[in-house]
Amino acid sequence: PTFERFARAGFVMTGVVHLIIAYLALRIAFGGGGTADQSGAMAQIAAAPGGTVVLWLAVVSFVLLALWKLTEAAFGKASKPREASAGKEAFRRGKAVATAVVYGALALTAYSFAAGAGKSSTADSQSLTAEMMQSTAGTALLVIAGVALLGVGAYYVHKGYTKKFLEDLDTDSTNIRRLGTTGYIAKGAAIGAIGVLLILAVTSSEPDKAAGLDGALKTLGAQPYGVVLLVIAALGIAAYGLFSFVQAKHARM
């Protein structure tokens, strides 16, 4: 139970990060600067009074939530140890591993900014993409990664549209359904857009196009009615952030 309480704090920090990303997206929509992704959110936290302390708390909470997900992968979910079919159980445990990797990456990002060595993840992704594109194997892996991101994005959209996220909660209300639906669809669209940009970067031999979430949002903003589209995207990301707070209290662990 103590492990679970501290692991739930990871959902709180996830919510904070998404709300800051939403704010940065709004700022970009109206002509401001900034990097609207996880590294940009961490930089905002680091620049605030007491931000370093918050970042260290984020490191701990993300690590604990990642460890919790790894225990789910190894032993099954505490609230529901096994699925009825072997295929569903394998999928659930594989998803737990993937989620653990995501929270582990967030922990590393928070650590780099807490230690004063943080930098834009956009530059890192572009550099890595350019390096991998120097070989056929690397290019193939990038295309596979792009397709995988499209698949993950589609999964999030499906989960939001069908409201399957309610299966992961111990509560249900109209507001939670609306919040989760909006948040998951927006999150899925953002992940899918990152996958599209990655594939375009590879097929056009332009690694600068592989700019992660920040690049996806700025590409959206460059379209006709870009300000409106960015505002809608920001509100969707904010909804996912608020839903993360719901998960902190009501997720079936």
DSSP annotation of 84 = S
List phi, psi (to 5°) of 169: -115, 155
Query: What is the predicted pLDDT for the residue at 214?
Result: 77
| CB proximity list for 31: less than 8 A, separation 6 or greater | none
| CB of 141 closer than 8 Å to CB of 210 | no
Q: Is the dihedral of CA 202, 147, 98, 24 positive or negative?
A: positive
Look up the domain containing 31 and give its range. Answer: 2-250
Beta strands in 37-176 (DSSP E): none
pLDDT value, residue 124: 67
Biggest CA pair distance of the chain? 52
> Sign of dihedral through CA atoms 64, 65, 69, 72?
positive
Q: Give CA–CA dist 163/180, Å, rounded.
A: 7
Name the residue among 108, 189, 116 with its Cα closest to residue 155: 189
CA dihedral of 215, 221, 224, 228, whole degrees rounded to 10: 140
Torsion angles phi and psi, residue 238, rounded to 5 = -65, -40
Domain count, the chain: 1
**Per-residue pLDDT, 120:** 65
What integer pLDDT is reported at residue 182 of this predicted model? 95
Query: In a structure prediction context, what are the per-residue pLDDT tens digits for the chain, which is 253 residues long?
Result: 888 888 999 999 999 999 999 999 998 888 877 788 888 889 899 988 899 999 999 999 999 999 999 998 888 887 776 767 778 888 888 989 999 999 999 999 999 999 887 776 666 677 777 788 888 888 888 889 889 999 999 999 999 999 999 988 998 899 999 999 999 999 999 998 888 888 888 887 777 766 678 778 887 778 888 888 889 999 999 999 999 999 999 998 8
| pLDDT the model gives residue 134 | 84
Identify which of 2, 27, 25 has the alpha carbon closest to the alpha carbon of residue 217. Answer: 25
How far, in Å, CA of 186 to CA of 180, rounded?
A: 10
Q: What angle do CA 92, 188, 66 make, to 5 degrees?
A: 45
| Residue type present at position 114 | A
- Kindly give, in sequence order, each residue whose CB lies less than 8 Å from that of residue 182, ignoring residues fewer than 6 positions away: 160, 235, 236, 239, 240
